[in-house]
Structure formats: structure tokens, C-alpha cells
Amino acid sequence: MKHKLQTHFFLTYFFMALIVVLLYSVFFYHYTSDILIERETKNLRELNSSFLTQTDSEIRELDDVSINISYSSLIKEQLSEWTDTSAASDEFRSLARLFMSINGTNLNADQINLYDYNGYLLRVGTKTNIYPIDLDSLDWMDTVSKNAGKKTVSLPYATNDLKTSGTSSTPPTWYISLYRTLRNSSKEEIGVIETMKKCSSVFKSIMTYRRRTEHAPAVYIYDADGNMVYPYEISEEEHAPADYYSLVSRQPGNDSVKTLGAAGEQELLIHNTSSYTGWTYVIVQDEAEVLHPVRNMMRFMIMVGFLIAGLCLVFSYMTSRQLIKPIRKLKRVIHKTMLDTLDENNKAELSNSFAELEELNQEFADMNVNLKKSMNELLDSRAQELKSRNLALQSQINPHFYYNTLASIIVLAEKDRKEEVITICRNLTRMMRYITGSSNAPVTLREEIEYVRKYLYCMKVRFQENLNYTIEVDESILDVPVPKLIIQPIVENALKYGIDCKPPWDITIRSVITEDCWRIEVEDTGSGFSEESLKMIRERIRIADEQPGLPELNIDGLGLLNVYIRWHLHCGEQVIFEYGNTGQHHGIVAIGRCTKAF
């Protein structure tokens, strides 16, 4: 017995919809879970790295104060006299002021202690005084002495010794100390420098994050011997945390580890070890907490899926005979439609169809023709817009250095240095011809570097022996096309802000080539970018990316935003544009291009 089309259609789509919902639910759960785990792992790695960087910065401040004291010749000159003075003497106050000046206005260390091997302790900071002390009672003294001038960082410890007020019932304050031996001018050890900082300051970034973040992951810090550094204070009501150090100490680098927690739930562990302090940072997050959104979403998706499946089945049952065949024909036509065939006759031949479907078929054919025309117009308009925008951006480069160059020519002429006047004028003429050229086409990197070389020569004439520059660009990339005046603004910026220190000043232009990318780096020997400048540049680049157009391009007189916009127009998604400070706190800007889009 044959079934009716409606019955067959209904039963077929009912089971198909049921299977699709189930398969989609399973796929959705596993796929989304993997994405969430991967995303959370990445976020935890970045968070762990941030905690490590900020904590190292706090310890480094203690280390800097300790180093500055150990190298201070003024302190070494006064050390022979300070044990014979009282806390009220002018000599002691002078020495204390010297310690405070080294500590800085930001008070990098809460307390500075100097232990003299003759049995005296000088304290400057929260408490400032001098008194005798039994060095044998200090259990850390032998370890510090064995390190021979290297830093020794203590575990957190609680003390009331530095409290200036309060009762004996006041909870003690937790500190971390950094120790370093002190040598005199004859390189003989004469004592130990101790710089102290509150744990609440050292671990401020971690404590603030956990306080402000709901369901924040647990954070643990261990020293090189596996001793817990953070959390540094565990109340009696709290259980001792699991020994995560033994789990991660066998894992290299910043890897993720999955383990079973005390409650039997999977836990995600991210760890990283500081090369500066040797501390291991571990972040622990319950996997159930990560997957909580997807589990809720699964329940909702299953309900919605079944509802949609039921509605679709009812609709398909009612309209199967009248719609299935012509719709399938339209579907085949639409599926075959490509961008290069939009202007062809894509009208389907429908038989026994409704008038509405015939109208839809005709409108689809007409739409293909109109869409093809509109796309051609849009592409032409977009191409013209990009050309105009690039030309407008290039025209905003302000070669104001010509004023200074002309002034240098006058000085050279007055000194009767004719050869240098001729050379600089010839360079200036070629530079003017290069800048004022009417062509909007890209130039080669070779031409741009040659222009920069002439520019730096002019600046060398102006600053004489105070300015040195080096240009080292690999021959293999010199024929790469680049926008005109793309490197000179970076060099001009480096020159302007790289001479804010004592001469001589150095400008270095070099190329870096890897398998998939190349880049040009411009580095100066100035004081580098300030945090305010970096923040402002990032914000304006963000605005330029979100609001394409022709924004105001000067950044306190710099042309970095101009360079970024033009270089981004030229390279698209393959663009490399980086800026910041080197390890020596000098400014560096790099542009380049990858042969692969990421």
C-alpha cells in the first residue's frame, strides 16, 4: 500500500529533523566546548603572563633600590662613620636622606635596612633609627652571603616590627624582603642591604583581579624549591591548597595541564616560570565553570530545535504538493549562479507554478542583471576612492625640515664651505623632485631609502658630530614597491624625539627578513615613548581602523598615524606596523609586510 505524498513527506522530515537536532546538539556541545577551553586557556595564559610581569616589576623595584645603594659612592664614604652616630645627629639625618633619595619619590621600597657586620642595624623608611643587633639570630644571613652580591628574595613573612601605632592585637603586616651583600671600595663585604615591600603591594595585581572578578580562577605562586609564595596568608578556616607545583614542575614552559580537583571535577592549570625571580605562577580554573555557558545553551538549543523542527514539519506537510517541485528548480538555478554569470539569463523554467513563484523567478533574473551592474560600479568607485585617499594622505606629509636645511646652508656658506653647500643643495634638489613628483604610483624601497639617506645627510650637516646614522637594508628587498614617503616620517620622528638626551645621537635603520615576512626598523637612542604617547597612538589608530576616512593625522607633530594608514592601505591584512621601546628604553618603530595573510 502506497502512502500519500503528505504522509511520506511528514514522516521523512520528522525523523530527519529529529536526527539533525540530535547530531547538531552533540556537535555543538563538543565544538563549542573545545572553543571555550581553547579561548579560556589563551586568556589564562595572558592573565598569568600579566601577573608574572607585574609581580616581577614590583620585585625589580626593590632590586633597583638595592643595586643603587650598593653602587652609591656617597653611601660608602659615610659608612665608616654612621655606627658612631645617634639617630638625632646631622650625619645620620644626612645618610637617611641619601637613602630616601635613592628610594625615589614613589617609595619603591617601604623599608630599607642596612646590617653592618660590626653588629649594627640602620633602618630608613617606615621606621628610621640605629641600634645594635645580633647577626647570628638572622637565619637568612648565611644564604645571602653565599650568593656573593646576587639578589636573594625571601618568602612572605608577617611582622609587627614596622607598625607605628596600634595594639598587640593588631594583625601583623606581611612583607617580602630582597637581600644583597654590600661591599666597600676595596670589594670587601661589610654588610647586607635589605629592601622590604608589603605583600599587598607586590601581589596587588592578583588581589585586585580576584576581588573584582566573579568566579575568578585560583592563583598560586611557588619559589624554586616548591615553597608557596602566594597566597601568603591562609586562615585556619581554609584548607591548604593542593600541591600544584609537583604537577606542573615536570611540564615545560607555559603549558596547560588538566587534572582532577578535590571534588572530582576537571581543572585547567596554566603555569609559567619567571626567569627573573625563579617563581612559578599557576592559575587553576574549574572546567565546569568554563563550560557552564555552553551547558545552559545546550538545553535552550534542544528546546528551540525541537520547536523549529515541529513548525517546519507542519509547514512542509501543508505546502508539499504546490511548492516542492518549483522551489527545487529555483534552488538549482540559484546554486549555479556565480558572480561572473550574474548578467546571463538565469531564469528558471517553471511548469504548473503559481503566479507569485513566476514573479519571483522573473525578479531573481532581473536582480542578477542589476546586481552585476551595481557591483561593477561599486568596484570602480572603491578603486577611485582608495587612490584619492592614498594621495590625500601622502599630501599631508609636511617636509618642514627644509627650513632647518636652508638655515644650515646659510651657515655653511658664511663659513665658505662651498663643497658641502653644493652637496647639500644637490641633495635638497633631488629630495624636492622626489616629494613633488605628480605620480601616485608606488616607488621601490631602494628609492625611498635613497631619499632617507639624503635627508639624514642634511641633518648630519646640521648637527655635525652630534648625529650618527647607520642604514643596513638587505639587497633582496630593495625592489619591493612601497608608498612614497613611508619611511622618512618615521626617521624624522626618531630624530625629533631621539635627541632629547645628551649627544651623540644615533639613528639606526635596518632590515629584518624571515621566511614569511620582512620589516624595516628605525631605532633611536633617545628616552623612548612615554606611556601617555603609546596610549594616545593606540587610541588614534583604533579610531582610524573603526572610522575609515581622512582623520587629523598629526600626533603631537608625529607622522606615525599617517604612515600607519597609508601602509595599511598598501598592504591590507598583510601589514606589519609596530612601535614601542627597546630593552634599553630607546624608541623603535617598524613597518613591514607578510607574504601570508593571518
Here the cell at position 489 is 616620517
Q: What is the distance of C-alpha 421 from the center of its chain?
A: 47
Q: What's the CATH code of the domain at 581?
A: 3.30.565.10
Query: Do the beta carbons of residue 71 and residue 149 sit within 8 Å?
Result: no
Query: Which CATH number does the domain housing residue 67 bear?
Result: 3.30.450.20
**In the chain, how many H helices and how many E strands?**
15, 19
C-alpha cell at 470: 647607520
For residues 402 and 327, state if they share a domain: no
State which H helix or E strand residue 571 sits in: helix 560-571
**Phi then psi for 108, rounded to 5 degrees?**
-60, -30
Q: What is the largest CA-CA distance in the chain?
A: 117
Same-domain status, 325 and 441: no
Please count the structural domains in the chain. Answer: 2
Residue 391 maps to a domain: no
Query: Domain boundary residue among 291, 306, 332?
Result: 332
Best CA proximity match to 444, nearest among 481, 394, 484: 481
Q: Express each pLDDT in 56-66 by its tens digit.
A: 999 999 999 88
Residue 382 lies in a domain: no
Residue 569's contacts (CB-CB under 8 Å, 6 or more residues apart) are: 386, 389, 390, 393, 483
Q: Is residue 124 part of a domain?
A: yes
- Are residues 328 and 402 part of one domain? no
* Helix, strand, or coil (residue 395): helix
Residues 147 and 274 in one domain: yes
- Provide the domain limits for residue 424: 396-594
C-alpha cell at 109: 621600597
Q: Looking at the domain assignment, is residue 234 inside a domain?
A: yes
Supply the pLDDT for residue 366: 72
**Cα–chain center distance at 428:** 40
Residue 507 confidence (pLDDT): 94
Give the span between the Cα atoms of 375 and 7, in whole angstroms.
45
Residues 294, 432 within the same domain: no
Q: Count of residues for the chain? A: 598
Same domain, 401 and 326: no
- Is position 60 within any domain? yes
Instruction: Count other C-beta atoms under 10 Å from residue 437's C-beta.
Output: 11
Q: How far apart, in whole angstroms, are the C-alpha atoms of residue 486 and residue 479?
A: 15
**Is residue 389 in a domain?**
no
Collect the ranges in the chain with pLDDT lower than 70.
Answer: 1-11, 13-14, 77-91, 164-169, 235-240, 251-265, 305, 308-309, 312-333, 335-358, 360-362, 375-404, 435-440, 547-558, 596-598
Q: What are 193's strand-pairing partners? A: 114, 180
Q: Are residues 185 and 41 in the same domain?
A: yes
> At which residue does the C-alpha cell 629584518 appear?
512
Same domain membership, residue 406 and residue 313: no
User: Quick check: 174 and 157 in contact, CB under 8 A?
Assistant: yes
Cell numbers standing for residue 187: 670589594
Q: Return the pLDDT at 417.
A: 78
Q: Would you say residue 549 lies in a domain?
A: yes
Do residues 352 and 323 lie in contact, with contact meaning Cβ atoms separated by under 8 Å? no
Of 332, 359, 379, the residue at which a domain comes to its end is 332
Nearest Cα neighbor of 452 from 479, 425, 472 is 472
- Statement to judge: residues 298 and 444 lie in one domain: no
Of the residues 294, 310, 332, the one at which a domain ends:
332
Encoded amino acid at 112, one letter: I
Q: Is residue 326 part of a domain?
A: yes
- Show the CA angle centred on residue 283, arms to residues 278 and 288, nearest 5°: 165
Estimate to the nearest angstrom the gap between the alpha carbon of 403 and the chain centroid. 38
- SS3 for 238-264 is CCCCCCHHHHHCCCCCCCEEEEECCCC
CA atoms within 13 Å, Cβ hemisphere of 365: 12
Tell me the three cell numbers of residue 297: 545553551
Query: Residues 449, 550: one domain?
Result: yes
**Considering the chain, what percentage of its residues have pLDDT values greater than 90?**
22
The pLDDT of residue 88 is: 58
- The letter for the amino acid at 307 is L
Domain match, 291 and 407 both: no
Please tell me whether residues 463 and 574 are part of one structural domain.
yes
Indicate the pairing of strand 120-125 with strand 129-132. Answer: antiparallel
